[in-house]
Every structure is written in C-alpha cells, then in structure tokens.
C-alpha cells in the first residue's frame, strides 16, 4: 500500500476538438455556449501573472490557453484546475510565472462534470482576480479543448530558497526529499509542514535581535506546506507512512514523526490561507527515517532527569473531581496519562527526577506528586515541603530513588521577587549518594512561558525573538543565582545543578545570566526539547555548576514526545506506551557521584 495518492478524479473526454462548459453553467442549468476558437488571440499566462505580487490584469475578462497540469475539480477539492504555458507561449523570463489557477465554480455537493485530461491544451475565458494572494482566472464559463495531451506535462525544479516564490506560482514543480517539520494539521486539514532540513528556533543558535530576525527569514524561505488538494477539514488523514519502507527497516507501523523524510514530490506550487503550499498531482511517500528512541541503558554514574509532565493532575487524589480544567478530565484519562509518564520515566532509568507542571496540591498522601512516586516504585520518594508553593495551579517537584540517593539538609523554595508571579517557585534540595557520599544540591524550575497573556510594558514582545515576559525570565535567572549563593539547603555544598523548563532557548538572556552565574550547558547546539510551528529548540535544561564539569559523563534528550503527533495524552490508547506523554521531551544527564 502506498503512502498517499491525491490525484484529481478525471473523466477523460473523447479525443475530439470540442468545448466543455464549466461546472458553474452546468450546475445552474445554463445552455452550453461555445466560446472563442482555439488559436485566436489570447493573453499569455506570464502576462496574467506579471512580475509582481498582484496581476496587472486584475478585474479584466480575458481568454488564456495552456496545458492542463493539475486537476482538482469539485467543492470537495479546490474547485478548479491549473494551467502552464505550452512551449512557444512562455516568455522565458524567470521573473514571471508560467502557471495559473482556473477557478471553476460548482455548487457544494454537486458532482463534477466532464473535465479535460492532464496534458491537454485548452482555451478558457474568465475574469482575472487576486483571491487571498493567489492570482486566478475566476468563474471560468467556457473551456475548449484545443489539442489532445501526451500525458502529464513536465515539471521544473522548485527554486530554493523560497525568496520569490511568486515566480513559480501555480506552476508544476518537483522537489524533495524534504523533512517533516510539523504534522499538527494533518488530521484536521490533511497537510504537513516540510523543509529542506530540521529548522531550529532562531534564538537557539544566534543571539536575539537582528541575527535572530535574519535566521527567522531563512527558516521561512526553507519551509513549505504539503497540502492534500482539498479545502475540506477533517479529511481523515491522507498521508501515511510508506509500508514498504516500514518493512524494509523492520519497524512496525507508527504515525508520521517530525524528522521523517518524504520521497520526491511532484506538485503544483500554490498559495492559500496565507502560506505557500504544494498540491500534489501524484502519490507522496513519507519514509520512517526518524526512528523512535530505545530505552536508555543504565547510567555508569547517577542519572538526573528534567521532565515537564504536561499538566499532571490527579483530581482529588481518590479518583474523583477532575474539574480543574487542566490535565485529564476523568479517572480513565488520568490513568492513561500516568501510565504513559511512568513508562517514559522507567525507560530513562533516572536516579533523580525534577518535574514541572505537576498539580500544586501539596505533598500529602493524595497529592499528585505522592501518586507519581507510588507509581514509580517502592524505592521512590519525593521532596516534601509541606503545603502548596506559590499561587499557581502547577508546581515544581523533585523525586528520587532512595536506594541510590539520600536527602540531606532542608528543602527550600524561592517565592519572592521574580518568583512571586509568573515564574513558579524554585524548589531546592540536597542529596548524598548512598549514606555518606558527596552532597550536591539540585533545584527544580519552571520559568514563565513566552505566551503574551496579560503582558504589559517591558514584558511585551520586543521583536528580538525572545517572546513575551523575557525581562521577567531574565530576572528570575539572576535571582536564582543569587539565592543559591546563600546556601538555601543549609548543607554548605557549592556543587549545584539547575534543572527544569526555563522557557528560554539557549542564546536567550536567562541562559546567559545562568552562564555568568557559573552554570554551564552541556547540551549540543542542535539539541531540542520542544517544537513550535515547525521549529525546534531547547527549553528544558540540566545545568551543573562549574565545579561539576569534570563529573559530567554524558547528557542528552529522549525524543519520545516532541516528534510525535500532538494529541492530549489522556485521549491516547491504554497501552502503557510512552509516546507523546507530554509536549516536552525529557532531558537527562549522567554524573559521577562518589559514595564515600
């Protein structure tokens, strides 16, 4: 079974020279009206397109001739067809497109009438218009077949980067292989976002400001949407993995993951809904090149994991009252979510776990953190700070394997200054390896998100690429460094590890402030723990203090979530699988931690 075939349904006419009345006339019951004869004066497609973003002939009633390059008839598709200039009609200027969309109106639910075949030369009359950025010949009333085709016309290579895509608007192009960067709209709109390679968030790789702006432009010019030749919603998923490729790699069937690769794509370059799109004229294969991760091997030291749990709420703790509006909406959904998270955590084999987005309902036996610890196993404990911390619905938590670590000193929280609002209170605790090993301090964090809800003044996005609330996150980082210098756990240890979701990419101000405060980032520049609109970057970190640099064995990200299709975890099947347990990937770090 092939991946996808989006081919316009055709009723091939007899190879006679005859006119075909457009669907609008047929649906309205209008008698056929023969149009101008083929070969008479017509406007070349390049003249219709012009060299700018808008047609110089907008509003004019004209006739054009061209070869049929794409057929998408009917209201369930795109209600029209595409033409390209025949050899000899093109102006051979790269600045002007030789393609044009012909809109053939049809009543919703009506069956398409007889349509020309791919490659046939036709003549059509209509009015030029700009439809939400797409130049088209609208309300086509007369179509005349001028000559039979010899199969689909030739395609030309898509020109990368898409700096001036207008020059190939509505043309038949060929491109690929390309990388899947986002599949959020696959189920609803039947579309995938593709790019030449994985795209990184600008401030993941360059400083905020002008460099980030230039990187963002480059990302846009290397990205495009693969559509399904339809404007329908919820098409049922038209792109699937190539089962032949699955068999060849020995993988079982799975959904399309970000990072998978397509084969060659033959499609019309189209513009709809504010974006450049590929409307395929033949099947598109998506190959499972981005394999799901295997469970991690056991650490040769002690393993720390930071994991945003994606709103882990356990109702009233007794299986009822899931009315918070966050996390699961009932007990069944909660059990599925917990099973997914526990499976994921066990696959990571952590000794210490810093979590974000866990319900802020204290630390009693019915709390979310207590329930998670029980689910992880009998040796798991959690840092108990008494009641809830701060006023947010979600909190940070620290859990640990008591067979490997012993909590020492006092747990402490930072709830003042930048942590009084937006940034969730930081939670610090100290641990020894075994009974008498070295003492080290870990602090769990969750900084304010980049969303602009209620942002005012300096907290509004400045345009430098850091999003809203940037100054508040930078302030939190500076205050966290200062607080850790006060020995909040009372252990005297200067070996400290900042962990959690900092909602900041690696070149942004909070990471710079933490680096200035003596914490280093062992993750690679191309690492990522989050994806947003087809771009990836790191929001989640494990940052040891400088004195621990020689103790770091290895670090990484377990990519079980970000690359998977987005769906609420509580709606997934009850199979105990870890995939898409959260919208963040967990990050991990192995430390040498001697037990004296």
CA distance 182 to 192: 6
- What is the number of alpha carbons within 13 Å of residue 406 lying toward its C-beta? 12
- If residue 25 lies in a helix (H) or strand (E), which one and from where to where? helix 23-27
Residue closest to 126 by CA, chosen among 153, 90, 98, 101:
101
Give the residues across from 413 on adjacent strands: 427
Strands (E) in 333-379, as ranges, are: 352-359
Give start and end residues of each alpha helix (H) in 32-142: 45-49
Residue 5 confidence (pLDDT): 25
Residue 234 confidence (pLDDT): 66
Return all residues near 242 (Cβ < 8 A) that are at least 6 apart. 2, 3, 263, 285, 286, 287, 288
- If residue 541 lies in a helix (H) or strand (E), which one and from where to where? strand 540-544
Residue 567 confidence (pLDDT): 64
β-bridge pairing 134-147 and 286-287: unpaired
Helices 368-376/331-348 angle, 10° precision = 50
CA distance 338 to 236: 28
Q: Which two tokens stand for residue 277?
A: 């799109």
Return all residues near 87 (Cβ < 8 A) that are at least 6 apart. none
Residue closest to 537 by CA, chosen among 467, 475, 591:
467
Long-range contacts of 412-416 (CB under 8 A, 24+ apart): 412/488, 412/489, 413/385, 413/389, 414/479, 414/480, 414/483, 414/488, 415/389, 415/390
Angle 29-35-37 from CA coordinates, rounded to 5° = 155
3-class DSSP state of 586: coil
Q: Which two tokens stand for residue 199?
A: 């795209």
- If residue 106 lies in a helix (H) or strand (E), which one and from where to where? none
Q: Respond yes or no on whether the N-terminal peptide bond of residue 136 is cis (omega within 30° of 0).
A: no
Burial letters 103-122, b for 16+ CB under 10 A, else e: bbbbeeeeebbbbbbbbbbb
CA distance 401 to 380: 5
3-class DSSP state of 475: helix
CA separation (Å) from 233 to 81, 184, 238? Answer: 20, 13, 12
How does pLDDT run along the chain (596 residues), one tens digit per residue?
233 222 222 222 222 223 333 333 333 222 233 346 898 999 999 999 999 889 999 999 999 999 999 999 888 899 999 999 998 899 989 999 999 999 998 766 555 567 899 999 999 999 999 999 999 999 887 889 999 887 889 999 999 999 999 999 999 999 989 999 999 888 888 899 999 999 999 999 999 999 999 999 999 999 999 999 988 776 554 444 444 444 445 555 678 999 999 999 999 999 999 999 999 999 899 999 999 999 999 999 999 999 999 999 998 777 777 878 888 888 988 999 999 999 999 999 999 999 999 999 999 999 999 999 999 999 999 999 877 888 899 999 999 999 999 999 999 999 999 999 999 999 999 999 987 779 999 999 999 999 999 999 999 999 999 999 999 999 999 999 999 999 999 999 999 999 999 999 999 999 999 999 999 999 999 999 999 999 999 999 999 999 999 999 999 999 999 999 876 444 444 467 899 999 999 999 999 988 65
- If residue 418 lies in a helix (H) or strand (E), which one and from where to where? none
Rounded to 5 degrees, φ, ψ at 266 are: -110, 115
Residue 39 confidence (pLDDT): 86
Rounded to 5 degrees, φ, ψ at 219 are: -60, -45
Q: Which two tokens stand for residue 502?
A: 């900092």
CA distance 424 to 414: 9
- If residue 546 lies in a helix (H) or strand (E), which one and from where to where? none
Q: Respond yes or no on whether the N-terminal peptide bond of residue 177 is cis (omega within 30° of 0).
A: yes
Residue closest to 159 by CA, chosen among 134, 196, 199:
196
CA distance 486 to 414: 11
CA distance 542 to 523: 8
Q: Are 158 and 269 in contact (CB under 8 A)?
A: yes
- If residue 379 lies in a helix (H) or strand (E), which one and from where to where? none
CA separation (Å) from 228 to 7, 68, 191, 279, 374? Answer: 9, 18, 6, 6, 47
3-class DSSP state of 528: coil
């Amino acid at each position: 079974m092939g991946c996808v075939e989006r081919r316009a349904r055709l009723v091939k006419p007899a190879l006679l020279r005859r006119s075909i009345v457009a669907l609008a006339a047929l649906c309205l019951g209008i008698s056929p009206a023969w149009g101008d004869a083929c070969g008479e004066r017509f406007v070349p497609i390049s003249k219709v397109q012009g060299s700018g973003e808008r047609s110089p002939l907008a509003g004019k009633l004209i006739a054009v001739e061209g070869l049929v390059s794409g057929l998408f008839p009917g209201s369930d598709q795109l209600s029209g067809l595409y033409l390209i200039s025949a050899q000899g009609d093109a102006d051979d200027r790269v600045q002007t497109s030789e393609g044009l969309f012909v809109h053939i109106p049809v009543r919703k639910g009506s069956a398409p009438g007889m349509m020309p075949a791919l490659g046939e030369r036709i003549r059509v009359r209509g009015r030029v218009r700009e439809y939400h950025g797409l130049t088209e010949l609208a309300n086509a009333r007369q179509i005349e077949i001028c000559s039979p085709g010899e199969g689909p016309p030739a395609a030309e290579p898509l020109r990368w980067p898409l700096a001036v895509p207008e020059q190939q608007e509505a043309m038949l192009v060929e491109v690929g292989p390309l990388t899947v960067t986002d599949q959020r709209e696959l189920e609803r709109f039947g579309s995938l976002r593709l790019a030449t390679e994985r795209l990184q968030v600008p401030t993941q790789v360059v400083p905020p400001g002008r460099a980030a702006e230039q990187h963002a432009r480059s990302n846009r010019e290397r990205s495009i949407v693969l559509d399904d030749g339809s404007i329908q919603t919820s098409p049922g998923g038209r792109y699937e993995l190539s089962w032949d490729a699955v068999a060849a790699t020995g993988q079982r069937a799975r959904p399309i993951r970000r990072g998978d690769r397509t084969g060659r794509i033959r499609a019309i370059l189209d513009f709809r809904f504010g974006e450049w799109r590929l409307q395929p004229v033949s099947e598109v294969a998506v190959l499972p090149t981005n394999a799901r991760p295997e469970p991690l091997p056991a650490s040769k030291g002690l393993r720390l994991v930071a994991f945003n749990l994606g709103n882990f709420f356990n109702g009233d703790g007794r299986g009822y009252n899931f009315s918070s509006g966050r996390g699961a909406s009932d007990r069944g959904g909660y059990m599925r979510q917990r099973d997914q998270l526990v499976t994921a955590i066990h696959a990571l084999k952590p000794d210490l776990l810093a979590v974000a987005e866990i319900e802020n309902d204290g630390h009693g036996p019915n709390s979310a953190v207590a329930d998670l610890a029980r689910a992880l196993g009998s040796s798991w404990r959690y840092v108990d700070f008494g009641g809830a911390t701060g006023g947010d619905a979600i909190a940070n938590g620290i859990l640990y394997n008591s067979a490997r670590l012993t909590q020492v000193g006092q747990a402490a929280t930072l709830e003042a200054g930048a942590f009084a609002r937006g940034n969730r209170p930081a939670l610090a605790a100290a641990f020894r390896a075994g009974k008498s090993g070295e003492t080290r301090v870990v602090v769990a964090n969750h900084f304010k998100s980049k969303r602009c809800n209620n942002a005012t003044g300096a907290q509004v996005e400045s345009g430098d690429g850091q999003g809203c609330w940037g100054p508040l996150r930078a302030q939190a980082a500076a205050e966290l460094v200062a607080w850790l210098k006060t020995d909040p756990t009372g252990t005297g240890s200067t070996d400290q590890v900042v962990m959690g979701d900092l909602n900041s990419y690696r070149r942004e101000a909070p990471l710079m402030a933490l680096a200035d405060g003596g914490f280093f980032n062992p993750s690679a520049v191309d690492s990522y723990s989050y994806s947003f609109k087809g771009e990836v970057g790191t929001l989640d970190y494990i940052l040891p203090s400088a004195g621990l640099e020689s103790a770091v064995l290895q670090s990484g990200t377990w990519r079980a979530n970000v690359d998977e299709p987005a769906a609420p975890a509580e709606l997934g099947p009850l199979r105990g699988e870890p995939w898409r347990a959260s919208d963040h990937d967990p990050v991990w770090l192995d430390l040498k931690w001697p037990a004296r």
